[in-house]
Every structure is written in structure tokens, then in C-alpha cells.
Amino acid sequence: MTKGNETGWNIENSYANLPESFFTKQEPTPVSDPTLLVLNDSVATALGLNVKELQGEKGEALFSGNDIPEGAEPIAQAYAGHQFGYFNMLGDGRAVLICEQITPSGERFDIQLKGGGRTPYSRGGDGRAGLGPMLREHIISEAMHGLRIPTTRSLAVVTTGEPIYRETEQQGAILTRVAASHLRVGTFQFASKFGTVEDLRALADYAVERHYPEGLNAPNRYLYLLQEVIKRQAALIAKWQMVGFIHGVMNTDNMTISGETIDYGPCAFMDAYDPATVFSSIDTGGRYAYGNQPQIAGWNLARFAESLLPILHDEQEESLKLAQAAVMEFPKLYEAHWLDGMRGKLGIFNEEEGDESLAKDLLGLMKENRADYTNTFRSLTIQEEIDLFEKPEFVQWKERWEERLNRQEESKDASHKLMRKSNPSVIPRNHRVEEALEAAVESNDYSVMERLLEVLKNPYQYTPEQCEYAKLPEPSARPYRTYCGT
């Protein structure tokens, strides 16, 4: 165990105060030969950690799980969840929660090793993760942060020096994930299904205190929790839709109570606009397609509401009414965020009745013409001609849009600025992500990933560098496929 505290740890283990069924004490399994490949300086600094201290062997030992910080009491968390609609008991099968770090500004973050070894929840799995998928999570979560979308962060990636076996042999790796918490809809499902009402209440109290402390004084704090989670998820999913992010595996265990995006497995960004877009190889039915994400979020939140029924009200019927009313709000909240986001993308400040159809008609044209989602908005923003803009239907649409802009008080310039703020010039394009991963994994060359990450830090800038990364790949005969990486 590390002695002294040059590293900057300020540790608590509040989750371990919950009833015992919620976790198992579990140290990460040591690895033979750790190598530190990525250390995220800005995340480390925000956490109050000393970057210099972590760069060498110390970081290697900590981020591999070979050493744990003094005061940390590592655990694996129990949770359940609906996976593709089917309920399962799950839990941290390949992750160990090392501790909670209290930052210099007083915020609390979970520090979790993903790929840290087997736990009682591993079922048949090896508890390990591969280098490619962990670097992928690093890139995409950093990109999401750059896009100003709430997300877990990645503090470090190490290789373990040990191979793992999937379809092929891969290098084992561990990602240190930083999250506002790892409380999931599935954690509540676990409590509700397998615990006592007291367990469920303890969990809900913990969640309110940690994420919605204003709710401690609410007349019904559990209803407050439900309503606030619904609000945050409505805002989050609308943000995903705005940038064409497809999560790929929106199981209830992959939906947070904090409102952060979590679990970057088969996620990817849409190219040509099509609501039916699916990248994940296992999502054969298209359950988690781009266009289904809002509905699926609503479905997951209904499962959350269900899990809270025993504590929403003393009378079952009242509970049900409260839950239903809260869940019914989700589509309205989501639609409002969506329309707000689209107004921003089109440079519109005020509200008019026809705004929704203006936005939807543009999307319809994109779909018909297989136009790239990000680049269509990008080209509208910088007034660059693309093929779509030559179509007569588009010319008509553009007239409508210009008339709409003329009807608002704000100047063209203000409108243009709003569009720049709302339309990223770059997203992590699939071919760029693959190129970065291939160089890193196959050739141990991290420069390609570094350059990509640099660009993705400022996706709303329109510099020549960003423009280079906005280019589309050569058309490919095969559709892009992603894999869970488990």
C-alpha cells in the first residue's frame, strides 16, 4: 500500500456504508508487467492529483491495480439490468471501484479500474479488457467531453503485460474510469428485486445526497430523485442526438443516475443521416439504432420508476400514479431539448411554431440524399457548398430557412456565431478512430491518437486542422461495425 501522500489523494469510501449486499470487498488482481500508456493530465489535475508523481512507476502500479492508495477500500459493485430487454443479475464483473476522490473544489468522483480482474460478479468472464477497446473508450469519452456532453472520463490506460483471449489474442489493458458515480438504473433494479425496502431506501437516500442534495428537503425526495434523473437523461439523450452519437448498448445497467454517458463499448458516430443507423455487431434487431435512442431512454426510465415503486408512496396505487406521471414527462422534456438543440444548430434564437418542421424537413432531405449529418450542418455554418445544396428541394428549404432567420431580431452575425457554437466541425470519425487504434495497438505508435485527441479537444473550432479531420473517408463497400470488446 502506498504510504505518504505526494500523489494528492483525498480519499473516502462512502459506498461501503451502504448495506453489504450492494458490494463485495474486492482488490484488483495484480498484473505481471504494467506499462503506463496514457495519463490524462487535465483529468488528473482536476482531481487534485500530482501528474509528475503519477508519470513513472507509481502511476504504473496504481493504474494497474498492483498498488492501491492508502485509505482506499476497493469493492466490486452489485447491480442488475435489462440487457436488450431481458433482465439479468450483473455487477462489476471486470471492474473494481478503488475509492472516491474528493477534489480540491470538494467534488466527489469514483476512481474505477476497468479490466482490473475477476470479481464475484464475473460469471464466466476473465475480468479483463483488451487494449483496443480501452483506448477506444479513452478516445470517445474524451471526444464527448470536448463536445460538452456529460460523460465519465478516462484518467489512464495501462497494458498489463498479459494476453487476453477473445476471437484473437489481444494485449490486456486497464482503463481508469472517473465518474460522478457508478450508480445505474440497474443498481436500483438490483435493490428493488433482491433487497429489502430498507436497502432500496438506503440506496435512494445515498443517490439523492450524492447527486441531488437539494432533494433532501423535498416533500417526497424519492419522487424528486425520479423526476430529476428523468430531466438529466432527457437533456443527455438530446445532446447525443445533436451530434449523431450512437451509444450502441443502452441497457439499463448502462444508464447512470448522475446523467453522465457511461460504458463506451460499441458506440460510434453516425455519418450519413439515417435514424436506422446501427453499428454494433450484436444489435441485430436495431433496438439501439440512432432514431430509437430517445424511446429506449424512456423505456429504461420506466424501469427506474418501477424499481422505486416500493418507496414512492405508502399506497401502491398512489406510487404507480406518481411513477407514471413522472415517466410521461420524459418525451415532452426530451422533445423540448431536441428542438432547442436544433434551433441552435440552425442559428435560431426565438421560438416559432414552424421550427420543428423546418428542422425535420432538413433531416428528411439529408436522409433521402444520404448526406453526412455532421458535415451538412458544418457546411451550412461555414456556407460551403456540398452536393445536397444543389438539389432543388434543398434550395427551397434554404429559402424557408433564410426567411425564418430574417424574422428574428438577432443579426446574421449573431446567428452565425450560434451555429458555430452548436455544430461541431469534427467528431471522432470512425476511420480516424480506427486509424489511431491500429497505429497504437499494432505498431505501438501513439502519435496518431495524440493528434486526433488534440483536434477533438476543440470540436467547435473551425481551424484548418479541424477541417482536415472533418473529411469523409473513401466510400467503403462494407458498413462500419463495432464490437462490445468484452
What residues are annotated to the active site?
253
Q: Which of 67, 263, 306, 372 binds Mg ion (CB under 5 A)?
A: 263
Q: Which of 136, 378 has the CB closer to ligand AMP?
A: 136
Rg of the chain taking only CA atoms, in angstroms: 23
Phi, psi (degrees; rounded to nearest 5) at 340: -55, -45
Burial call 92-128: b when 16+ CB within 10 Å, e when fewer: bbbbbbbbbbbeeeeeebbbbbbbbbbbebbeeebbb
Q: Which of 82, 211 has the CB closer to Mg ion?
A: 82
If one asks whether residue 91 binds ligand AMP (CB under 6 A), the answer comes out as: yes
If one asks whether residue 187 binds ligand AMP (CB under 6 A), the answer comes out as: no
If one asks whether residue 75 binds ligand AMP (CB under 6 A), the answer comes out as: no
Per partner kind, with CB cut-offs from 5 to 8 A, the member of ligand AMP, Mg ion, none near residue 430 is none
Q: Which of 218, 484 has the CB closer to Mg ion?
A: 484
Q: Which of 38, 78 has the CB closer to ligand AMP?
A: 78
Phi, psi (degrees; rounded to nearest 5) at 154: -120, 120
Q: Which of 40, 254 has the CB closer to Mg ion?
A: 254
In the window 222-261, what residues touch Mg ion (CB under 5 A)?
Answer: 254
- CA distances, 121 to each of 66, 78, 274 (Å): 21, 7, 37
Q: What is the DSSP letter of 391?
A: S
DSSP line for 58-95? HHHHHHHTSS--TT---EEE--EEEETTEEEE---SSE
- CA distances, 363 to each of 219, 357, 370, 388, 397 (Å): 43, 10, 10, 12, 11
Least Å distance between CB 122 and Mg ion?
A: 13
Least Å distance between CB 253 and Mg ion?
A: 5
If one asks whether residue 473 binds ligand AMP (CB under 6 A), the answer comes out as: no
| Contact partners, residue 413, CB within 8 Å, separation at least 6 | none
Least Å distance between CB 480 and ligand AMP?
A: 19
Q: Which of 66, 77 has the CB closer to Mg ion?
A: 77
Q: Report the alpha-carbon angle 210-69-119, nearest 5.
A: 75
Least Å distance between CB 123 and ligand AMP?
A: 6
Q: Which stretch binds ligand AMP (CB under 6 A): 31-39, 172-180, 230-238, 248-256?
A: 248-256
| Contact partners, residue 322, CB within 8 Å, separation at least 6 | 220, 223, 226, 312, 313
If one asks whether residue 92 binds Mg ion (CB under 5 A), the answer comes out as: no
Q: Which stretch binds ligand AMP (CB under 6 A): 21-29, 85-93, 142-150, 218-226?
A: 85-93
If one asks whether residue 254 binds ligand AMP (CB under 6 A), the answer comes out as: yes
Per partner kind, with CB cut-offs from 5 to 8 A, the member of ligand AMP, Mg ion, none near residue 91 is ligand AMP
Per partner kind, with CB cut-offs from 5 to 8 A, the member of ligand AMP, Mg ion, none near residue 100 is none
Residue 443, burial from CB neighbour count under 10 angstroms (0-12, 13-18, 19+): exposed
Quote the cell numbers at residue 129: 479488457
Q: Which of 132, 146, 259, 265 binds ligand AMP (CB under 6 A)?
A: 265
- Applying CB under 5 A, what is the total number of residues that bind Mg ion? 2
- CA distances, 237 to each of 149, 234, 292 (Å): 10, 5, 11
Per partner kind, with CB cut-offs from 5 to 8 A, the member of Mg ion, ligand AMP, none near residue 127 is ligand AMP
Q: State the pairing for strand pair 153-165/169-179.
A: antiparallel
Q: Which amino acid is at 469?
A: Y
Per partner kind, with CB cut-offs from 5 to 8 A, the member of ligand AMP, Mg ion, none near residue 484 is ligand AMP
Q: How far apart are CA 435 and CA 471, in angstroms?
A: 14
If one asks whether residue 343 binds ligand AMP (CB under 6 A), the answer comes out as: no
Q: Which of 49, 78, 94, 433 binds ligand AMP (CB under 6 A)?
A: 94
Quote the cell numbers at residue 385: 457548398
Q: Are 212 and 108 a contacting pair, CB within 8 Å? A: no
Q: Which of 96, 470 has the CB closer to ligand AMP?
A: 96
If one asks whether residue 93 binds ligand AMP (CB under 6 A), the answer comes out as: yes
Least Å distance between CB 66 and ligand AMP?
A: 19
H helix or E strand, kind and range, residue 395: helix 392-406
Residues lying near Mg ion in the complex (CB under 5 A): 254, 263
Residues lying near ligand AMP in the complex (CB under 6 A): 90-94, 121-122, 125-128, 249, 253-254, 263, 265, 484, 486
